[in-house]
Amino acid sequence: TKEVERIVRENNYYDAEKVKNYLKEASLPDQLPLIIVCDRHNYVHDLVLYLYSNSLSKYIEVYVQQVNPSRLPQVVGALLDVDCDESIVKSLIASTPPQFSVSDLVDEIEKRNRLKILHRWLESKVNEGSQDQGVYNALAKIYIDSNYEPERFLSSNTFYDPRVIGAYSEKRDPGLAYLAYSQGQCDDELLRLTSDNGMFKQQSRYLIKRRDLGLWSKALSGDDQHPLNQSHRRQLIDQVVSYGLPEAGDPEEVSVCVKAFLGANLPNELIELLERIILEDTPFSNNNNLQNLLILTAVKVDQSRVADYIGRLGNYDAPDIAEICINSGLYEEAFNVYKRFEVNTDAIGVLIDHVGSLDRAYEYAERCDQPDVWSRLGKAQLEGLRIKEAIDSYIRADDPSNYVEVIDVASHAGKFDDLVRFLMMARRKVREPAVESELMFAYAKTERLSDLEDMLRGPNIAQVQMVGDRCYDEGLFEAARMLFQSVSNWARLASTLVRLGDYQSAVDCGRKANSTQVWKDVNQACIAEKEFRLAQICGLHLIVHTEELEPLIRLYERNGYIDELCSLIENGLGLERAHMGMFTELAILYCKYRPEQIMDHLKLYWSRINIPKVIRACESAHLWPELVFLYVHYDEFDNAAQTIIEHSVDAWEHASFKDIIVKVSNVELYYKALRFYLKEQPLLLSDLLNVMMARVDHTRVVSMFLKSDNIPLIKKYLVAAQSTNNKAVNEAYNDLLIEEEDFVGLRNSIDNHDNFDSIGLAQRLEKHELLEFRRIAAHLYNQAKRWKQSLTLSKKDKLYKDAMTTARLSASTDIAEDLLRYFVESGNPACFSACLFTCYDLVRSDVVMELAWRHGLTSEAMPYFINLMREYQGKVDTLTAEVSELKAKVERGGNGNGTAANVAAGPNQLMGPAGLGGRLLLGGPAANGGGMVPNAFGAAGGQSGPGSMNGSQFGGF
């Protein structure tokens, strides 16, 4: 059983229905596995029925007490379904731990109309202090059904759900439902209940007590949940008028009710209600709030009754009521309220602000004769621009408090005579700078200068400077002079004197003031009057200030006084405070009006001017030489060069251009300059290129001039550039020399600079009509080691010396011998002999001997053989001396073992340096067996000697 219990508790992969049925059929001694399956899979009803029907009630107790107490409501419901004894059910409920929902339990029992079985249990729960809403709901239902003092329970208890209990009571007792709904303030349910059951008295009482305008609106106007029923509303209103409000003891309840009637647009009913409450003898007849409400309602509903109410009632709030009347347009009623309660200031305010009758207000003020009333009237008259009357009213009120507005309005209206009267009164009452200042200004405006002077001499707290400024702005210069002079404001005094035409005095005041603005004003005035001497004095104090210089210049320019302006700035250059702006602006003026002076000015002061600014001026004035000068001194060499090129007619000068072009940073300008010179100054190209030599790309330069076919113009440059051994330069220069037929120069160029297409040049030159160029072609072939092509060319032109030189340079025996054969075949013995001399080291002696013997050129070959024999004789002599020295060394170093003899007799001891092996011949003819042998030249002789050549000697070759 334990294993079955474990499986059904922990396993989720079995069919609950089949397992449940199986366990029922198995009738296990312990029903716990079946309980677990039914609890986990919600088969509680089947479980209870099975256990109850099989008399296994103890397992029902085990289930709800130990396994799952929360299942008690379902278990109780199932037990009741099988008519289980109520005592068993009560015992089961009482013994189960409180871990279940009371509401669910009540619902299960209530479904079966057996709720009374819970009565004692529920009361015990209440006595235990439970606040579970389900407990109290169940008790309320029991009390209602049993009629066991339900009113007391519903009115004294707050733990039940009023909506649930109200709904439960509606069909049983609407009064109890009303009580439950009212306790819980279930407004919608209560309105529905009372309307459906005709309980309008209760509804009216509830509405008055609730004091909720929203609820009143639903009752009087209806909404989606409570559609308006005219009959119901009429009955409700009757109940409110007859019983509700007369019973009300709180004025706030009446107030909310009135507001609700207003909101529902029920004016007639509301007026009737309020008159009954207030005008009749009731506790609220003298109530301040209700009187206010009655007048307020009349104002909003029936304004014809307001005057009557104001006269009959006396305990209302006069200021508030008057304000409401004013807001509602009842101005006469508001005036009567203020007048009745002697609020004279507000009363005259109504006449002024709302009735709009200043005449009635004046009459009322005359009757009251109070300062506040006169002040209020004066303000109104002032606002109505009755300035004289307003000032009279203020004087009667002896009130200067509104002096700011009086001054403003009177000043704008130009009523300065009346303003003087007001200000004199105000000066006696208050000591304010504004009052005395305005009095001074009013004296000035009314030309009472003597009074002004007296006031200035006496003690005062006026803002004299401000008044003087106003007089100055208004054109009252004489008064302004008095005011500025009294405060020693030399700056403003100077400006004033300017306006009065006293320029000399103005300049003197300017010196005292030493103010930029003063100098500026005096200067402008002097310019306007063409007092240029005085204007210059002022201007010299202005131009030393950078910010004043340009406006001053514009002033002079605008009036066309250019000469005077230039003179002013020129005189200012020597000042100690002269600054860059002065030199710059003078330069700009020269650009505009005196271009002939600009260059001298720039040369003198270029270091003290703002060069970029002057550059723009020169550009605008098309002063190109000056522009170049500025670019150079501003290190803008690129722009300088560009300007010269673009405006060469005015700006070009060869020497300066050369100095500039070498300093530019943009390489493209070099080539632009070359094109410019090619177009305009072609004869100076070489000079320009000479200074640009280290900076230009020689290949690009040559290409440029090749395209334009102007290479001869840069010949000097090409000569100088050859030191770089540039291919393009070399080829261009060589082409130029060919064109000029300068073969000497071409030969030197080829020999000293080898970076060019030598084969291509040789191929061009070998067809040249001049012999020297064809010789150069052969020379180029020699340099390229194309010996055969060189020989062919030399042979063709019969330049045999060149041919022999080529053969010698080739160091080729075959080439040298071929040339010998050519000379033999062409019948040129002299060249044959010369070739033997030239190619002595290359030709083989046997070949020479053969050619000489076969072609009868022995005489021509004899020098070669003589030289050859002398060479070999020298070698033999050298070898003989070496052998003798070696013998002596051997003999001196021998040890008596016959070593010397062996060395002398050894056949191989002379091998080595001599290189002749065992064929060294030291003897004469006898060494060959005696007799003479004919020599190669056909002679026989027995002579011997150093110069003879016998057969044995030639036999060695």
Q: How far apart are CA 626 and CA 651, in angstroms?
A: 8
pLDDT along the chain (957 residues), means of 10: 74 78 75 79 79 77 79 81 77 76 77 74 75 77 76 78 81 81 79 79 78 79 68 75 67 77 74 72 69 78 80 80 85 82 81 82 84 85 84 85 86 86 86 86 86 84 86 84 77 74 74 75 79 81 84 88 87 85 89 89 88 90 90 88 87 88 87 88 86 85 86 86 85 86 86 83 82 84 83 83 88 87 88 89 88 88 90 92 92 60 42 36 32 33 34 29
What's residue 908's pLDDT?
A: 41
Report yes or no: 312 and 340 within 8 Å, Cβ to Cβ.
no
- 742: alpha, beta or left, given left = phi > 0 and alpha = psi -120 to 50? beta
What's residue 228's pLDDT?
A: 66
pTM, two decimals, is 0.42
Q: How far apart are CA 408 and CA 99, in angstroms?
A: 86
Listed residue (319, 394, 386, 397) closest to 359, CA to CA: 386
What's residue 266's pLDDT?
A: 76
Q: How many CB atoms lie within 10 A of CB 816?
A: 25
Q: How far apart are CA 915 and CA 896, in angstroms?
A: 30
What's residue 352's pLDDT?
A: 82
DSSP code at position 739: H
What's residue 946's pLDDT?
A: 32
Q: Enter the tokens of residue 952.
A: 């044995």
Q: How far apart are CA 945 and CA 942, in angstroms?
A: 10
Q: How far apart are CA 890 and CA 481, in angstroms?
A: 142
Burial of 814 (0-12, 13-18, 19+ CB in 10 A): exposed
Q: Enter the tokens of residue 704.
A: 């440029």
Q: What is the pLDDT of residues 862-886, one digit of tens each?
A: 998 999 899 889 999 999 999 999 9
What's residue 879's pLDDT?
A: 93
Torsional sign, CA 782, 785, 791, 793: negative
861: Cα separation from own chain's centroid: 100
Provide CB contacts within 8 A for 894, sequence distance 6+. Answer: 900
| Secondary structure (DSSP) of 542-564 | HTTSHHHHHHHHHHHHHHT-HHH
Listed residue (495, 414, 423) closest to 455, CA to CA: 423
Q: What is the pLDDT of residues 301-360, one digit of tens each?
A: 778 888 887 877 777 788 888 888 888 888 888 888 888 877 778 888 888 888 878 888
| Secondary structure (DSSP) of 797-817 | TT-HHHHHHHHHHHT-HHHHH
What's residue 443's pLDDT?
A: 84
Report yes or no: 272 and 296 within 8 Å, Cβ to Cβ.
no
What's residue 926's pLDDT?
A: 30
Is 684 strand, coil or helix?
A: helix
Write down how long the chain is: 957
